[in-house]
A = this chain, B = another copy of it.
Amino acid sequence: MGGVRTIARPRPARQEAAPPASPLPLDQIIQGDCIARMRALPDKSVDLIFADPPYNLQLGGELFRPDGTHVDAVTDDWDKFESLKTYDAFTRAWLAEAHRVLKDDGAIWVIGSYHNIFRVGVAVQDLGFWILNDIVWRKANPMPNFRGTRFTNAHETLIWASKGEKAKYTFNYRSMKTLNDELQMRSDWEFPICGGPERLKKDGHKVHPTQKPEALLYRVLLACTKPGDVVLDPFFGTGTTGAVAKRLRRRWIGIEREDGYIDAARARIAAALPLDESAIATMQSPRAQPKVAFGTLVETGYLAPGTMLSDAKRRFQAMVRVDGSLASVCGEVGSIHKLGCILQGTPACNGWTFWHHEADGRLQPIDTLRQTYLLATQP
């Protein structure tokens, strides 16, 4: 099973000091075909890829060759099987490059609709990516089905995948839980479609037909990257990914073919303001806090040797010993975690929340002592 790379221990800052020389064209739009341009990027060099590929809507019969170039003059009698086959080849080609340029602990997001998402999903799996979730973007204000022939198409689907089954990946669990009112963030997200002042227009017409809302990218980048991480968007369009990345102080690379989109994206990103450093800080997993050994609490007098601990239901009791180990009334000994496992008969136990001590007339988890210690000793 894969591993979650939480924002555990402080890593060398990449942005705060002088940015290290990078072989990557950071914070730039590269003009051209996404497959060809990705080929010019080094192996294992980006932390996250967000891709919003053509949906192959089969309305006007928009088609792409395996090299990503557009097929013109499609007629109604174009064979649908050929169309799907061609779209599959195109999808596999750009996803293969995406897999190559992704760091081993990176991840990819792809958005699509029922027209193309199944083909994208199969290609993702076949290339060795490991799907972590499929996410549903529920549109708060979708376009109705005017003819009354189907259900209102009110959502799009995103696939989130790590580089492989055993690969690590970044997931800022605490940030997501905080964002969702202290409940786990679910796989269905509701956002309005992109409109109002956020929607880029030129001469009264929308610049891009499928501009994505910034809120969507905000959640993706907040969940799966850290400040300074490099985000690649091979179908950059009008640069929603770049604008949000800049705002959240992530680095970005965009690939886009069309002049009109590139111009709009450049102006948009130039106008975007990075959030204040302090605003970028997110809720951290406990892992990110300095580690406190249970023995330290004994050593420093926060908990006296000889103190009796028990679980919340007072089924089990144990005594604190001078070295920070516990001894149960039955004679078993071990660390706070180990003894919790033994007594409960479970393979895992968090001793910090399992064991309680008597304070102010009631049982409190010993984790509160750890918090007190941290508050008292941290600057």
A: residues with CB less than 8 A from B are: 1-2, 4, 60-62, 64, 66, 68, 80-81, 84, 113-115, 117-122, 124-126, 131-136, 138, 142, 144-145, 147-155, 157, 159-160, 165, 171, 173, 176-177, 184-188, 223, 285, 344, 346-350
Known: A138-B188, A148-B173, A148-B285. 10 other contacts (CB 8 A): A1-B61, A2-B149, A84-B126, A119-B121, A133-B153, A134-B157, A136-B136, A148-B177, A151-B160, A154-B187
The smallest beta-carbon distance between A48 and chain B, in angstroms, is 16
Query: Across the interface, do B114 and A151 meet the contact criterion of CB distance under 8 Å?
Result: no
In whole angstroms, what is the CA distance A2 to B150 when docked?
11
Query: Across the interface, do B136 and A155 meet the contact criterion of CB distance under 8 Å?
Result: yes
Query: Across the interface, do B131 and A121 meet the contact criterion of CB distance under 8 Å?
Result: no
Chain B residues whose C-beta falls within 8 Å of the C-beta of A285 in the assembled complex: 148
Query: Across the interface, do A151 and B135 meet the contact criterion of CB distance under 8 Å?
Result: yes
Query: Across the interface, do A149 and B173 meet the contact criterion of CB distance under 8 Å?
Result: yes
In whole angstroms, what is the CA distance A148 to B119 when docked?
29
24 chain-A/chain-B pairs, Cβ below 8 angstroms: A1-B61, A2-B149, A4-B148, A4-B149, A64-B346, A66-B350, A84-B125, A117-B121, A117-B134, A118-B120, A132-B150, A133-B153, A134-B157, A136-B138, A145-B184, A148-B184, A148-B285, A149-B173, A151-B184, A151-B185, A151-B186, A151-B187, A151-B223, A152-B184
Chain B residues whose C-beta falls within 8 Å of the C-beta of A134 in the assembled complex: 113-114, 117, 157
Query: Across the interface, do B68 and A344 meet the contact criterion of CB distance under 8 Å?
Result: yes
Given A80-B165, A149-B173, answer yes or no on A348-B64 (Cβ-Cβ < 8 Å).
Answer: yes
* Closest B residue to A88 using CB positions: B122
In whole angstroms, what is the CA distance A21 to B121 when docked?
45
In whole angstroms, what is the CA distance A15 to B117 when docked?
41
* Closest B residue to A345 using CB positions: B68
In whole angstroms, what is the CA distance A80 to B164 when docked?
11
Chain B residues whose C-beta falls within 8 Å of the C-beta of A186 in the assembled complex: 142, 151-152, 154-155
Chain B residues whose C-beta falls within 8 Å of the C-beta of A132 in the assembled complex: 150
Chain B residues whose C-beta falls within 8 Å of the C-beta of A62 in the assembled complex: 347
Chain B residues whose C-beta falls within 8 Å of the C-beta of A60 in the assembled complex: 1
Given A121-B118, A122-B118, answer yes or no on A136-B68 (Cβ-Cβ < 8 Å).
Answer: no
In whole angstroms, what is the CA distance A133 to B347 when docked?
44
